[in-house]
Structure 1
Amino acid sequence: MTAPGGTPARDKLQLRLALRDARTKRKLTQKDVADAMEWSTSKLVRIEGGNVGISVTDLKALLFQYEITDEAEVGRFVELARAAKKAAWWQPYRDYFPPEFITFLGLEASSIRLRQFQQLVVPGLLQAPEYIRVLMQLGSPPPEQQERGFAIRTQRQKLIADGGPEMFFIIDESVLFRQIGDQSVMRAQLLHLKELAARSNISIRILPFSVGVHPGMRESFEIFELSEESSNYALQIEGILRDRLFPEPSSETARYVDIFFRLEKLALPKEETPGIIDERLRHMT
């Protein structure tokens, strides 16, 4: 278990995974532990699921049950629990967005790797400011709603800072041609995309028109890899009316992970992305 760091959402995820790992290593069921602690089973389920926090008193009692008594190790668990309780940056926006979107923000902030396929627009994490502003006008929402949307998207982009998670993007070639805003907006966006493609923790690959029919044609989607555990993925699928979020591993998440890896085999190498963007810029009037 590593020390606290990153975001409260990431610390919360690390804590619940560490507690679950400690229980399974001792071959205890959730009911075994709940009975021994004189808790309801649902309480432990909620703690391990990240739906509720855990007090330091309860945490120490739980660690004792798992035979974790080393002072330094207990101290690391306690630090993690306290860090997980800090307010995340999106707390002020909870009243303005549905719970699924808040969960999405937490999953994205908690990920150790992000994988996204986008066939309509530049992925949100890679959008330039004026490109975002044009998209926020879709549907003519009130100005204050546009500003909230802009603020959240730019805040999300802080994940791109050095030391953030690994990010793998596959973008349909049509996105480079779809006019969002005027020529100056598109030119700034393409230059921004080229700059980001040079980052060490970001891979941006183009899926060319020449591949024809491919497995990602129906939907854009984002995959969140939450730990080094096998298949520990969450998923968001974009929709016209609403997005669909799958916060836990499932057959659905496994299917989209497979689709993403199939798309990687079709996409052009990331080393070619700057040249493709330059070619598009040369043909812009």
Structure 2
Amino acid sequence: MPNIRPVPTVRRRRLGEALRRYRNDAGLTLDSAAEAMGWIGPKLSRIETASAHIKPDEVAALLRAYGVEDREVIDALEGLAKHARKKGWWQTYGGIVAPAYADYISLESDAESVRAYAPQLIPGLLQTAAYARETTAANAIMRTPEEAAALAEVRQARQAVLTRPGGPLKLWAVINEAVLHQRFAIRSTAMREQLRRLLDASEMPNVALQVMPLDATPHPGNAGGFHLVGFPGPMPDVVSLENLIGATYVEGVDEVATFADAFERIVAAALPVDDSLALIARMEEDQRS
């Protein structure tokens, strides 16, 4: 069973990358920046590589040494440092939640928006409990039935970000039409209930849904699905790519921009929102007969 990291290290990674970028912009080497802080040894290098913790006041001091005066930047990076050791609700599931998945949930909980292209499954934030149980059981081929059930619970719990107080997550999902034709042997009504869930979610002001039709013209989504996770203020976006054994992350600014451009092209190739919802409604109605 995989062990979860005791710290959501993705926050450290984002913080370290941002500090490295501002140091380079200031034209300082690791040694000169560490000297300015009165540090000895590899402390700064370990911070930038996310292998060491840094206090919020040290973040502010570093940024001053780098000539950064933008209050929004300082507050954002201090916030990352402050919450780097914060434990999330998903850690109550212990080793059930693999480290890469824990990283994604951490990103999602901090995010302002998620843009997703889903060619194989309904996005987790929009899944019904029945859909989550059946698809998790099918995909978690290395897990026990009990572990698969727990992972389905995690998917459901993640959905709280769509209704969180003080600023719900903005979700823009493009779902391949083929996904909507899926059938379930254990519970024959699962897909109909899932279609209704999509229609209900579409009424939320922070949720936009589109369907990629079966006869769509070629588009970048043909290369595979992804989640583009966006953050408020100066923090750069992150892309998550999923597969059977976990997730990988794209964090370079130029690489992330490639996915942002790809998502715009995917949106253009998909059915407009109103047409997408009309299609989902027809499919849901057909399954009632």
Same fold (TM over 0.5): yes
Moved more, 204-213 or 187-196: 204-213
Distance in structure 2 (CA, Å) of the matches to 1:30 and 1:74: 20
- The alignment's C-alpha RMSD in Å is 3.7
CA contact (8 A) 2:137 2:149 kept: no
CA distance 1:39–1:214, change in 2 (3 Å): same
Aligned-residue sequence identity (percent) comes to: 27
Structure 1 unaligned regions, length at least 5: 1-7
Structure 2 unaligned regions, length at least 5: 1-7
Distance in structure 1 (CA, Å) of the matches to 2:18 and 2:259: 26
Equivalences for residues 132-281 of structure 1 within 5 A: 132-138=132-138, 139=141, 141-162=143-164, 163-180=167-184, 181-229=186-234, 232-239=236-243, 241-249=244-252, 252-281=255-284
Distance in structure 2 (CA, Å) of the matches to 1:168 and 1:208: 17
Read off the aligned partner of 2:283 and give its amino acid letter.
R
- Report the TM-score when normalising by structure 2: 0.76
Tell me by how many angstroms 1:177 deviates. Answer: 1.1
CA contact (8 A) 1:26 1:66 kept: yes
Q: Deviations over 1:201-231 (max 9, x none)?
A: 111111112214433124121112235549x
CA contact (8 A) 1:47 1:54 kept: yes
Q: Report the 3-state secondary structure (helix = DSSP H, G, I; strand = E; otherwise coil) of the residue aligned with 2:220.
A: coil
Read off the aligned partner of 1:90 and give its amino acid letter.
W
- Report the TM-score when normalising by structure 1: 0.77
Look up the match of 2:43: 43
Q: Report the 3-state secondary structure (helix = DSSP H, G, I; strand = E; otherwise coil) of the residue aligned with 1:246.
A: strand
Read off the aligned partner of 2:145 and give its amino acid letter.
P
Q: Deviations over 1:72-120 (max 9, x none)?
A: x999987774444332222334533443222222222222221111111
Q: Report the 3-state secondary structure (helix = DSSP H, G, I; strand = E; otherwise coil) of the residue aligned with 1:210.
A: coil
The size of the alignment, in residue pairs, is: 273
Distance in structure 1 (CA, Å) of the matches to 2:226 and 2:190: 24
CA distance 1:258–1:46, change in 2 (3 Å): farther
CA distance 1:79–1:41, change in 2 (3 Å): same
Distance in structure 2 (CA, Å) of the matches to 1:166 and 1:257: 15
Equivalences for residues 84-103 of structure 1 within 5 A: 84-93=84-93, 95-103=95-103
Distance in structure 2 (CA, Å) of the matches to 1:244 and 1:80: 22
CA distance 1:267–1:75, change in 2 (3 Å): closer
Distance in structure 2 (CA, Å) of the matches to 1:79 and 1:114: 20
